[in-house]
Amino acid sequence: SQKIEQNSEALNIQEGKTATLTCNYTNYSPAYLQWYRQDPGRGPVFLLLIRENEKEKRKERLKVTFDTTLKQSLFHITASQPADSATYLCALVRGSQGNLIFGKGTKLSVKP
Amino acid sequence: GAGVSQSPRYKVAKRGQDVALRCDPISGHVSLFWYQQALGQGPEFLTYFQNEAQLDKSGLPSDRFFAERPEGSVSTLKIQRTQQEDSAVYLCASSLTGGASGANVLTFGAGSRLTVL
């Protein structure tokens, strides 16, 4: 069956360091992959989308890579800040209808 | 409206009660999704509408769960004879586009937290 795995349930880093989160998938050939941020008590918020023909995408301090051979996406936050503390979710489209399925998320804590 | 609105934000139900959760998507958004999120887990897909058509309901856990979007805008998720395992946050999301050929960027509501006693 199709599966998305986000390897770390939690990641703790020091302010100013780069956070790297991993998303692996099996039995998919997705056309694109998305990353969302979720704060407690709120719905996920879209951050970045990367297509299968793009190796890398950047937005301010965020960088996403997409390796379709390894079936993996890496999500980086450079110069991390305590305000970056949240749960980060990766999502893939499944099937021909376009519905998105999500990984379990990685809870990032950035300590001052 | 400016965002996706869900009501009620919090619902406490006794086991066996029926509940209805409402979602007001962004005006003009074609696609509407329902997800179930248990504590500490990612959103689990329930069902997907494109306009008024329910294109995928493969994630609905049982026949106690029913969703509709009769006029292609507001959607209601109904849970009949609620059980304790139904306790979760129910998230609604909408998207301007539809189908796998487009990149469905979802805008989520804040969710409806259901607690079944």
pLDDT in tens, A31-61: 788 999 999 999 999 999 998 889 899 999 9
In angstroms, rounded to a whole number, what is the distance separating the alpha carbons of residues A14 and B82?
Answer: 44
The predicted pLDDT at position A95 comes to 65
The closest of B23, B85, B102, B35 to A44, measured between CA atoms, is B35
pLDDT in tens, A53-81: 898 999 999 999 999 899 999 999 999 99
Write out chain B's pLDDT in tens, 117 residues.
589 999 999 999 999 999 999 999 999 999 999 999 999 899 999 999 999 999 889 999 999 999 999 999 999 999 999 999 999 999 999 998 876 555 678 999 999 999 999
Chain A residues with CB under 8 Å of B100 CB are: 31, 93, 95-98
* Element spanning A77, H or E: strand A72-77
Distance of CA A106 to the CA centre of its chain: 8
Closest CA–CA distance from residue A56 to any residue of chain B (Å): 17
Residue B29: φ, ψ to 5°: -75, 130
Exposed/middle/buried for residue A67 (C-beta within 10 Å: 0-12, 13-18, 19+) = exposed
Chain A residues with CB under 8 Å of B97 CB are: 98
The distance in angstroms from the start CA to the end CA of chain B is: 33
Q: Does residue A87 surpass a pLDDT of 80?
A: yes
Q: Identify the residue with better confidence: A98 or B40.
A: B40
Q: How confident is the model at residue A97 (pLDDT cuts 50, 70, 90)?
A: low
The closest of B53, B62, B48, B93 to A89, measured between CA atoms, is B93
